[in-house]
Structure 1
Amino acid sequence: MDLEAVRTFAAVAEAGQFRKAADDLSITQQAVSKRVAALERDLGVRLFTRTPRGAELTIDGQAFLPHARELLRVAERAVASVRTGHRPLRVDVINSRGAASGLMRGFHRAHPEIDLDVLMLFDVETAVTAIRSGAIDASFRAVAAPGRPLPEDIESVRVFDEPLQLLTGPAHALAGAKSVTVAELAGHRIWMPGIVPGTEWAAYYDDLVAEFGLTIEATGPNFGSDALLDTIADTPALATFMSEQTRLVWPAGHGLRRIPVTDPTPVYPHSLLWHRDNPHPALTTLRTHLAATSPGGDTAGTWVPDWVLPR
């Protein structure tokens, strides 16, 4: 069904005259007549009766009018849903408890007028595909993993470096330390069952192990953070790495310790990815916000793999 014909029908019904509808639509009266006639042919009914005073709706016209108006409202909503600046900004934050989620909460507090859709995608390939298809506007990732350069149409900027901390139970040998050096972690078992081969965070921890001779075990099923915390609390031989801004709550009886790691401090690099031709105005606002509120990177005394993009 031709929406312009439906729009013209609604205009004639409201104006009560073909000439007045033509003026309202900024088209000729002949064009109005042609559109209404075409719509009547499509529907197989007459919609108006011409009278000396103008045009009156037939019974069929009266029945069709509320549906015509609803069609036009639906069309307007459909256009608005994809019009630049009128749909929510869609951003992938990987997980709900990490630093990227915290960065987006800060952005929302600073710009409550901007509608947001926050979602969580698993790996960088899925995120890049979603960016290129327009399914999302941006994604937080550690880029670029070795041997996997970003496509030329994907832009990225490193926005936040998050220090790693050691998480131990109360009976662990390092539980009483105010801080630990990377060298002091050698020989200790660091258990991280959430590391998935092929992901950018797996590449990060592979390089961390190779650089400092650490022992990271990714064995066993990943039952989530609650099960991880239970195990660390009850097993003196195990510790795990936890990013500084990871939001976790555990029972008071666990007695878990979060211990800063130094000399150097391993930092996890968060970058923002987006399509270079993305016109959403809120994307520029997000990038400006992150540049103004996130601390600088490549700080002395920190470590990232050599494949991480510089700031």
Structure 2
Amino acid sequence: MDLQQLRYVVAVAETRNFTRAAEHCRVVQSSLSHRIAGLERELGIRLFARSSRRTELTSAGEAFLVGARECLAAAERAVADAAAAAGVVRGRLAVGMIRTAAAIDVPELLQRYHARHPDVRVSLRAGSSDELAAAIRNAELDIAFLGLPEGQRPEGVEAIVLDHDEHVLVVPAGHRLASASQVTLHEVAEETFVDFRDGSPGRAQSDQAFAAAGLARDVAYEAGVAELITRLIARGLGIALLPSAFIRPLAADDPELALVPVVDGPHRIEYLAWSRFNPSPATRALLDVLGAGSQA
């Protein structure tokens, strides 16, 4: 058994197709199939169930895949650690970010990072804060930019505070409150709301504020991204509370939206989070670019 065979198994498992897996690995299909068949003979088990139309992992293949990925990750880390010891940062860096991140200009940060460490392959993944924190704990991500309600910290990861922010009310330009100097939650509780999905940290920020004020509200529309929320608001389908640092630049160029300060509205804290367990050289290098290297 060798690492190349493990790479082939992972590629077939992810593509569920020997032809596409061979293309991904940049080898001819016959060579990839031969190597996997040889591995199956060595192990004495079938890793894949094959037909002319389908390829799926067997139960044994699913169990083997976990260890195969761990072995490949360990091999990559060994190479990266050796390079780092020689003063060169290499390997992979998996970065996660919430879609409403505002404390850090992530594309600009990655540009600076790439200029310093061009040998690191960076991947970027968007998601909710709870999903991204779980991905760090599961070693699927190295580092992530999160946003959580005030008083709540990311669990099971290292984290530093990047910024504190407050929400503003976002309404259609023709709404009765569009020209108000400020509002309270009590004044808007009877309105129809657009918000993030129930149970997400983005939704919890507003839910907790209304609960603390002893108020209930009607969330008629749920959306996974803030851009869809603002489009629904612009069509007059509801109003929303969104982080001010994120929404102000967008609303400044959108005549269909108006922003109103909220006296007792939600607050959120943006965090940078990474694994507590032995951060990779690539992760430490990103922390250095951010000026947070002493935290690792």
Q: Given the two structures, how large is their TM-score scaled by the length of structure 2? A: 0.55
Report SS of the residue matched to 1:163. Answer: strand
1:270-290 Cα shifts (integer Å, max 9, x gaps): 122222233323433444555
Give CA deviations for 1:158-195 in whole Å, capped at 9, x if unaligned.
22223312111122121113x41435644452512423
Question: How many Å separate the matches in 2 of 1:143 and 1:260?
Answer: 20
Aligned residue type for 2:80:
R
Give the superposition deviation at 1:119: 0.7
CA contact (8 A) 1:142 1:270 kept: yes
Partner of 1:201: 202
* Per-residue Cα deviation, 1:111-168 (whole angstroms, up to 9, x for no partner): 33244321124452x43443234221112334589999823xx222222223312111
Q: Which residue of 2 aligns with 1:266?
A: 266
Give the greater-gyration-radius structure (CA): 1
Question: 3-state SS of the aligned residue for 2:223?
Answer: coil
Deviation at 1:218, TM superposition (A): 2.5
Shift of 1:209: 0.6
Match of 1:243 in 2: 243
Q: What is the SS of the residue equivalent to 2:220? A: coil
Secondary structure, aligned partner of 2:91: coil
8 Å CA contact retained: 2:168, 2:259:
yes
Q: Aligned equivalents of 2:242 and 2:264: distance in 1?
A: 16
Aligned residue number for residue 281 of structure 1: 281
Q: Choose from 131, 137, 156 the match for 2:142.
A: 137
Pick from 80, 84, 87 the counterpart of residue 83 of structure 1.
80
Partner in structure 2 of residue 256 of structure 1: 257
Paired with 2:76 and 2:213, the residues of 1 have a C-alpha distance of 55
Pairing 1:172–2:175 present: yes
In the alignment, the residues of structure 2 paired with residue 90 and residue 201 of structure 1 have an alpha-carbon distance, to the nearest angstrom, of 22
User: 1:210 corresponds to which residue?
Assistant: 211
Kindly indicate whether residue 121 of structure 2 is the aligned counterpart of residue 119 of structure 1: no
Q: Identify the residue that residue 94 of structure 1 maps to in structure 2.
A: 98
TM-score using structure 1 length: 0.53
Report the secondary structure of 1:88's partner residue. Answer: strand
Contact in 2 for aligned 1:99/1:162 (Cα 8 Å): no
Question: Is the CA contact (8 Å cut-off) linking 2:159 and 2:274 kept in structure 1?
Answer: yes
Residues 201-223 of structure 1, C-alpha deviation per residue, up to 9 Å, x if partnerless? 33322211122345543324538
Identity of aligned residues (%): 21
Equivalenced residues, count: 210
Match of 1:295 in 2: none
Distance (Å, rounded) in 2 between the aligned partners of 1:105 and 1:277? 26
| One-letter code aligned to 2:158 | E
Say whether the 8 Å CA contact 1:90–1:118 is kept in structure 2. yes
Matches of 2:164 and 2:241, distance apart in 1: 15
Deviations 1:243-270 (CA, angstroms, capped at 9, x unpaired):
2233686898853112333x45633111
1:42-57 map, 5 Å: none
Contact 1:156 1:271 in 2 (8 A): yes
| CA distance, structure 2, for counterparts of residue 206 and residue 255 of structure 1 | 25
Work out whether residues 206 and 265 of structure 2, in 8 Å CA contact, stay in contact via their aligned partners in 1. Answer: no
Separation in 2, partners of 1:2, 1:176:
67
1:156–1:221: structure 2 CA closer, same or farther, 3 Å change rule?
Answer: closer
SS in 1 for 2:197: coil
- Is 1:159–1:291's contact at 8 Å kept on the other side of the alignment? no
The partner residue of 1:163 within 155, 161, 166 is: 166
Aligned residues of 2:190 and 2:218 also touching (Cα < 8 A)? no
RMSD: 4.1
Residues 224 and 123 of structure 1, relative CA distance in 2, 3 Å threshold: closer
Cα distance in structure 2, aligned partners of 1:223 and 1:129: 18
CA shift in 2, pair 1:233/1:218, >3 Å: same
Unaligned runs of 5+ in 2: 4-71, 82-88
